[in-house]
Amino acid sequence: MAELRALVAVKRVIDFAVKIRVKPDKTGVVTDGVKHSMNPFCEIAVEEAVRLKEKKLVKEVIAVSCGPVQCQETIRTALAMGADRGIHVEVPAAEADRVGPLQVARVLAKLAEREKVDLVLLGKQAIDDDCNQTGQMTAGLLDWPQGTFASQVTLEGAKLKVEREIDGGLETLRLKLPAVVTTDLRLNEPRYATLPNIMKAKKKKIEVIKASDLGVDLSSKLTVVSVEDPPQRTAGVKVETTEDLVAKLKEVGRI
Amino acid sequence: MVGGSVPVFDEIILSTALMNQVISFHDVSGILVCQAGCVLEELNHYVQERGFIMPLDLGAKGSCHIGGNVATNAGGLRFLRYGSLRGTVLGLEVVLADGTVLDCLTSLRKDNTGYDLKQLFIGSEGTLGVITAVSISCPPRPKAVNVAFLGCPGFAEVLQAFSTCKGTLGEILSAFEFMDAECMQLVGQHLHLARPVRESPFYILVETSGSSAEHDAEKLDGFLEQALGSGLVTDGTVGTDQSKAQSLWALRERITEALSHDGYVFKYDVSLPVERFYDLVSDLRARLGPRAKHVVGYGHLGDGNLHLNVTAEAFSTALLGALEPYVYTWTAAQRGSVSAEHGLGLRKKDVLGYSKPPTAVQLMWQLKALLDPRGLLNPYKTLPAHA
């Protein structure tokens, strides 16, 4: 059977259920003391990698995350779900804001080559920036085929069959390996990490490296100018009859 | 559950729904003063925005009024950590049967001046006075909440796990709930909720709440290692994000819903010494045999409160006869409470005697006669008919 190796990228983001608050100085959102978790789409990517391993199609699953030291918790969660080992590309907290899809893609591309993996799995996008770029950029830098928004992934001989969710419905691609796949919501339902695996995960290795060790430049040409709340929705007005409605619309100059 | 707020004969219904204003909130002390008709969930949102939480939480939070919570001395899911309303309510404004407005709405943590009258009204089910405003102490909002769902091989292990929890988690333990295998089977069958761990005879849900994520995670890890290592727990999972934590809570919070899909439900809510907790369920299962569809036990083990439910295809007086007074006499023999948190209302007023001696009931009648001589307030409820 195929003896493939998979690299799964996971991102630590503010938990999906948390109410986001913009910082008063408008430089970003409040992250201090706020609950963070693994990006839900990344979780789906880890689950898919572990399932491929359980089907004996993948031999080793490596989980990687770029960011400050807390990213190691996210890598541990991936290990508890079944990943074999982790790589933490450490970025000091002060610089973490400037690490965007292009920087992460550069890191992943280098790691994919260093670790000689056959498959790079990522979530389709992160719920904090909604960029939906990292997977695509990684494939571009590696010059590998990509199957994005995957809702089904199967191995057919030496090729990867990826069913993608697109606006018109579903598209099926067959990709030569090595390839990059980004996961969409319907691909799978991530497992609960069970206690025995959580305990085992503590003993699994997480290698800590810097981007410079890979020869990657993390500089960015983008600056965040300001972060603001979306405008408050003003209250609606209720009217009694259609005549009232037409009069009101004329009054506010809409018709 | 006991029909305490259901009109049965010739009553006039009084609703406080329009009395839904927050009167004041002191954001250093966390003391909230509000009218009785405020909905619990809305109060929770209000104080959460200011860095606090309500000291109680229950399934009906979206519709229940705080005045009603106080009148029924509601327990709920945060009881283990924050205690009873008897401790968190600091003051009340109550209208008496003769129209007198009793203003005991102070916001003082300590006030030993005379008899503590508010305690009469808390849990009185509206029979001694109408609560119109509440002053309540709210705890700070925890910065870190963790939920673990674990499988135990037997009830003895459940009890040991509880002791271990108290020992290793200490002050951060905020909930300890249990459910049996039948409950898990029912939520799976009727609500399609997936079982997150290996099949076990018992499941426990442990929640921690604290001010430091690292500190709490370390303590929780310590407890989990110990529990797994010593065989108290055979499998488990930790909610790694909020939605997982909510899914784990749903397994416990939606048992009532699952039971209602199973047929007619006979519900019992008792307080028992924890060692004998599950014996009532096993004894009842043996006693009823195939007459019952399911006999399940679940509840606030940390508070010594068992929810015992029996389902059948349909109501039958024969089955009721097999259940009552058996459940009550069994509970009374353990000096337990025949109504741990749901009160007496209409349906349980005649079983008050199983948990309180005649002298106590006599004094209750005297207090009722003193405060409501004409029997205007929530008649036909709570106390058995005067001998």
pLDDT tens, position by position, B121-154: 999 999 999 999 999 999 999 988 999 999 999 9
Q: Across residues B71-92, what is the average pLDDT? A: 94
Residue-wise pLDDT tens digits, B23-49: 999 999 999 999 999 999 999 999 999
pLDDT of residue A108: 97
Q: Nearest to residue B206, comparing CAs of B270, B152, B138?
A: B152
For residue B285, the number of C-alpha atoms closer than 13 Å in the C-beta half-sphere is 12
- Sequential DSSP letters for A232-243: PPPPP---SSHH
Contacts of A33 (CB under 8 A, 6+ apart): B143
Residues B372 and B337 grouped into a single domain: no
Residues B251 and B271 grouped into a single domain: no
DSSP H or E stretch at residue B269: strand B264-271
Residues B245 and B337 grouped into a single domain: no
* Residue extents of the structural domains in chain A: 5-228
Residues B10 and B82 grouped into a single domain: yes
Residues B368 and B332 grouped into a single domain: no
For residue A191, give the chain B residue with the closest CA.
B196
Contacts of A199 in chain B (CB under 8 A): 224-225, 228
pLDDT of residue B213: 86
Question: Cα(B201)–Cα(B199) distance, rounded to whole angstroms?
Answer: 7
Residues B3 and B60 grouped into a single domain: yes
Between helix B277-288 and helix B326-333 the angle, nearest 10°, is: 150
Tokens standing for residue B261:
């899909």
3-state secondary structure of A159: strand
Residues B131 and B11 grouped into a single domain: yes
pLDDT of residue A2: 60
Spell B18-38 as b/e; 16+ CB within 10 A means b: eebeeeebeeeebbbbbbbbb
Residues B272 and B235 grouped into a single domain: no
pLDDT of residue A105: 97
pLDDT bracket for residue B103 (50, 70, 90):
very high
Residue B150, min C-alpha distance to chain A (Å): 8
Residues B328 and B367 grouped into a single domain: no
Q: How many residues does chain A have?
A: 255
CATH of the domain at B198: 3.30.70.2190
- In B, what residues contact A, Cβ < 8 A? 143-145, 149-150, 196-198, 213, 221, 224-225, 228, 233, 235-238, 240-244, 246
Contacts of A192 in chain B (CB under 8 A): 149, 196-197, 237, 244
Q: What is the average pLDDT score of chain B? A: 93
Q: Nearest to residue A220, comparing CAs of A131, A125, A139?
A: A131
DSSP bridge pairs for B339: B269
pTM (two decimals): 0.86
Would you give the DSSP letter of residue B385? Answer: P
CATH of the domain at B301: 3.30.70.2740
Contacts of B145 in chain A (CB under 8 A): 35
For residue B144, give the chain A residue with the closest CA.
A35
Of A17, A77, A196, the CB nearest to B240: A77
Tokens standing for residue A19:
């109410």
Contacts of A30 in chain B (CB under 8 A): none
Residue B22 CA from chain centroid, whole number: 24
Per the structure, how many domains does chain B have? 3
**Residue B300: domain span:** 262-354
pLDDT of residue B202: 97
CATH of the domain at B27: 3.30.465.10
Residues B11 and B130 grouped into a single domain: yes
pLDDT by position in tens, chain A (length 255):
568 999 999 999 999 888 899 999 998 999 888 889 999 999 999 999 999 999 999 999 999 999 999 999 999 999 999 999 999 999 998 888 889 999 999 999 999 999 999 999 999 999 999 999 999 999 999 999 999 999 999 999 889 999 999 999 999 999 999 999 999 999 999 999 888 899 899 999 999 999 999 999 998 899 889 999 988 888 888 889 999 999 989 988 888
State whether B197 and A198 contact (CB < 8 Å). Answer: no
Phi, psi dihedrals of residue B279, rounded to the nearest 5°: -60, -35
For residue B237, give the chain A residue with the closest CA.
A194
Residues B333 and B275 grouped into a single domain: yes
∠ CA B43-B46-B49, nearest 5°, is 145
Tokens standing for residue A208:
């800590």
Domain boundary among B211, B229, B255: B255
Residues B21 and B89 grouped into a single domain: yes
**Biggest CA pair distance of chain A:** 73
pLDDT of residue B41: 95
Question: Cα(B92)–Cα(B36) distance, rounded to whole angstroms?
Answer: 9
State whether A194 and B225 contact (CB < 8 Å). Answer: no
- CATH fold group of domain A5-228: Rossmann fold (3.40.50)
**ipTM confidence score:** 0.77
CB B353 within 8 A of CB B361: yes
